Structure 1
Amino acid sequence: MTAPEPLVTTQTPVTLVGGGGLRDKDLHTCLTRGPVLVAADGGADAILGRGLRPDAVIGDMDSLTAAGRAELSPRVQHHIPDQDSTDFEKCLTRIAAPLVLGVGFTARRLDHTLAVFNTLVRHPTRRCVLINKSEAITLLPPEIALPLEPGCRVSLFPMGAVTGQSSGLEWPIDGQGFAPDGAIGTSNRATGPVHLTLDAPRMLVFLPRGRLNVLLEALEAASRWAEG
C-alpha cells in the first residue's frame, strides 16, 4: 500500500492529542518536547478547552463537536473519511516528523488502546511514544541502550512473533520466542543499564512514566527499522 502524503511536515517532534483521558501535566510535558500540536479528531475539543490551538486536526471528524469545528480554521481541518483506519492511524501516517508524542490515547477504552498498539507495530518506521499517567510506551527499535537503575520495571509485550537478546534484565530474553499467544515479558526488572536487540518490529516496551526522558534520549540515539 502506498503511504499517504504527509499533512504535517516538521523537523521538530510533534505532540499528538487524542480524546481519551487527557491530563494537563502530560500535555505540558509533551509540548515541552514537541511544540507542533496535532489533534486526532475529537482531541481538538480537549485542546481548545485548554485555550490552545492545534496546528492540524486529522480524522474522520465523527467525534469533533460542531462548536469545535466552528472555532477552528478550515485550513487546519483534514477530513479523512475512510473507515478502514482509526483516527490515530490517520494521524500517524500523515505526520512526517522525527518523533510523535501521543497523549490521550491509552487512558480509557481498552479496545481503542489495543488499536493504537496495533498501529505502532504496523507502521514501525513512524517513531512514536505514548504517554499516560503511569507509563511511557513505545515500539522497540532494532537495538536500544536504556540507562536504568536496578529494580526499574521493564515490561515487554510482543504484538507478534519476535525474539531478541538482552543484558541488564533480571530475566534475560536470550533464546526466548515471544508471541501474543505465547511467552510474554511483562513485569521484568532492570538490574542496571539495559541493552536490548530485537529481530523484528513487534515488541512494545512499557516503562514507568518517570523514565520518559531516559526513553526519549535512548530512542534518539537508536537506529530505526528500515522501510519494507
Structure 2
Amino acid sequence: MLTRIVHENRPVTLIGGGKVKKSLLRAAIVHAPGVVCADGGARAALKAGLEPLAVIGDFDSIDAKTRAAIAPERLHPVEEQDSTDFEKALRAIEAPLVIGVGFHGGRVDHQLAALHGLLRYPERRVVLLSGQDAVFLLPPELRLDLGTGTRVSLFPMLGVGVRSDGLRWATEGIEFVPGGRIGTSNEAMGPVQLRADGPGMLGIVPVAELARVVEALLGAGAGWPAL
C-alpha cells in the first residue's frame, strides 16, 4: 500500500493530466486550496501559477521542463502499473475531501477509469468536476440543500438501493444496477436526503452546486469502509 504523502486538514484539489478548464480549477481552489497533481497535471498547475504540494504518478506524461520547475522533494514517482495516476494520487492523500479536475473531457477510457477510482476507494470523499457536472460517490447518508428543479442524477456502478426524500421521483424500493434501472435526470423538490444501502452509487449534480456538495460531503457522517 502506498504511504500517505500529503497530509492536509483542509480539502485538496487534485489536478489530472486531461484538459483543465480555468473556471473549474478556480471553483475547486476556492474550496480546496491545497494542490496536488497526478503526473502530467503538474503542467496545468504551473500554468495557473499554482505550486503543488506534491506530484504523484508513474511520470510517463510529465515533461522534462515541468519536472525541472518543481522542487525534487515534491516529486513522487510511483512505478507500479496496476492502478491509474488518479488512484496513485488519491491513496497518497490524507485530507477530508479531494476535488478532482482534469479527469474528464478527454478520452472516454480515462473518464471511466476515474469513475472506477471512486468505486475502488469508497472510504474517500471525492468530487470530480467536468464541464457541466460534479460527480461523487454517495456515502451512506447525505443531505444536499438544493433548490427546487435542480437536476439530480443517480448512476449505479454496482447494484445498489437508495432511499430518498425530496426528489420528484421516489427511489424507494428500486434496485439500481448497471445494464438495468438507472436514475438519470431526477429533480430536487428542495433539500434532498439520500441513504444508500451500499457503496456503488454515483451522485451527479450541476457543477454550479459544488459549494453545496462540498458542504454536504464534509458534513456527512460515517463513510464506507475501505475495500
TM-score range, shorter chain: over 0.9
Distance in 1 separating the partners of 2:173 and 2:161: 7
Taking the TM superposition and a 5 Å limit, the aligned residue runs for 1:49-198 are 49-198=47-196
Of 24, 32, 39, 2:37 maps to 39
Residues 52 and 163 (structure 1), Cα distance of their counterparts in 2 relative to 1, 3 Å cut: same
Distance in 2 separating the partners of 1:171 and 1:104: 32
Q: What number of residue pairs does the alignment pair up?
A: 226
Report the TM-score, using the length of structure 2 for normalisation.
0.96
User: 2:225 maps to which residue?
Assistant: 226
Q: Does residue 23 of structure 1 match 2:21?
A: yes
Distance in 2 separating the partners of 1:151 and 1:76: 44
Structure 1 moving runs of 4+ over 6 Å: none
User: 1:205 maps to which residue?
Assistant: 203
Report the TM-score, using the length of structure 1 for normalisation.
0.95
What percent identity do the matched residue pairs reach? 48
User: 1:4 maps to which residue?
Assistant: 2
Per-residue deviation, residues 81-114 of structure 1 (Å, max 9, x unmatched): 1111000000001101001010111121111111
What root-mean-square deviation, in Å, do the aligned CA atoms of Structure 1 and Structure 2 show?
1.1
Distance in 1 separating the partners of 2:200 and 2:170: 18
Per-residue deviation, residues 143-169 of structure 1 (Å, max 9, x unmatched): 111121221100010000101211111
Per-residue deviation, residues 44-83 of structure 1 (Å, max 9, x unmatched): 0111122322110000000001111111111111000111
Q: Which sections of structure 2, spanning at least 5 residues, go unmatched?
A: none
Distance in 2 separating the partners of 1:167 and 1:50: 41
Q: 8 Å contact 2:160–2:200 — kept in the other structure?
A: yes
Classify the secondary structure of the residue corresponding to 1:84. coil
Distance in 2 separating the partners of 1:227 and 1:83: 21
Classify the secondary structure of the residue corresponding to 1:93. helix
Distance in 1 separating the partners of 2:145 and 2:26: 24
Offset at residue 132 of structure 1 (A): 2.3
Q: 8 Å contact 2:35–2:50 — kept in the other structure?
A: no
